[in-house]
Structure 1
């Protein structure tokens, strides 16, 4: 190899991250948004129950509260009011910024692949100063494999069994954190290759990981 040819570090890779309850704790903001939606529509929504099971797409959750012919309208309104009520209360999960930086500092790319409405996902990341190389929204579970394959991700980090399924569908290593609705046993049973306590452990794990 010529001396001036760039060399890729052995640890350089593309790593995908889920958003809700992996990189961000969006429960306070989502709860507030559902409470506003409930007040506007007059439909009872148990917002505490909603935030206890984050992960699946919005329409899947709305189907628990609205008849089929109102789900689209309710979803559009939810996304419309979301920025005003959900961005400010949302916090970064412990270790989130350092996890993304660890990938980038190793010469790799960090991407976010989420079921969330993509513009709102970007608002969260900008507000919290988390700077991935790409953000891809509107993908859930196995569908996340589309973006993971497109970007050449070999690792996907998430908190939900749906994230594990997405990683496995993409033939990526599934790294799971039990910081959302799924505990460590559920994540392992779903096929997670690695289960960390939280993202604080991710930089050290990444430094030791070899494909």
Structure 2
């Protein structure tokens, strides 16, 4: 009789957002918007734009360009991004420790972000942050597809859109108040847990693993 091969999934899979969760992308994005403004001759308030990071690029560009130019401007921005934004972008405080905590618990860390995936990968490689998987170009509820696909029981993000993505995926929403949304806004949006920053994540994760609410990865 033939035997079916079986695979054992790790007990824990944690998803992380990228911008303002794992990386402080404000300096690089600010510089890239200024360069785009100079290149196109179109005024862009880069100071304002970096206060509302999280949604897809097109949702910001519509504030500065007519609808028929959004695709063109997005392509131009993304082509300029690697030489302008990558080196200028540091890791968020506690980012490496958070990934390490998941690994120390025997789990997998994945990154699910709205950022253009090739540029997201450049950020992670530059900073030496190596998740088990990276999925880009997904925003808010759309992130649920990747979270479900990879069996994430927890999703960590800084935006109310990340909260919605986690809840759509039926994952625990862990919010960090390091981005454009306040701790109160994140809690009101339905986050299960709100942390000040990722330095608090390892202790929370250890407590979560001991709790009755702990949910391993789904097969």
RMSD of aligned residue pairs (Cα, Å): 1.5
Alpha-carbon distance in structure 2 between the residues aligned to 1:162 and 1:154: 17
1:34 aligns to 2:33 (yes or no) = yes
The residue number in structure 2 matching 1:85 is: 84
Aligned counterparts, 1:68-147, within 5 A: 68-147=67-146
CA shift, 1:85, in A, is 0.3
Take 2:8 and 2:135, find their aligned partners in 1: how far apart are those partners? Answer: 28
Per-residue deviation at 1:105?
Answer: 1.6
Aligned to 2:16: 17
Structure 2 unaligned regions, length at least 5: 1-6, 215-219
How far did 1:140 drift?
0.2
Aligned residues: 205
Name the CA distance, whole Å, in 1 between partners of 2:40 and 2:88. 23
CA distance in 2, matches of 1:118, 1:104: 23
Distance 1:90 1:198 in 2: 17
1:187 aligns with 2:186: yes
Distance 1:145 1:8, change over 3 A: closer
How far 1:104 sits from its partner (Å)? Answer: 1.2
Structure 1 residue matching 2:153: 3-state secondary structure: strand
User: How far off its partner does 1:8 sit?
Assistant: 8.0
Q: Rate the CA distance shift 1:133–1:7 in 2: closer, same or farther, 3 A.
A: closer
Query: Structure 1: which 4+ aligned runs deviate by more than 4 Å?
Result: 6-9
Q: Describe the superposition over 1:37-76 as per-residue Cα deviations: whole angstroms up to 9, x where unpaired.
A: 0001111000000000000000111011100010000000
| Other structure's SS at 2:144 match | helix
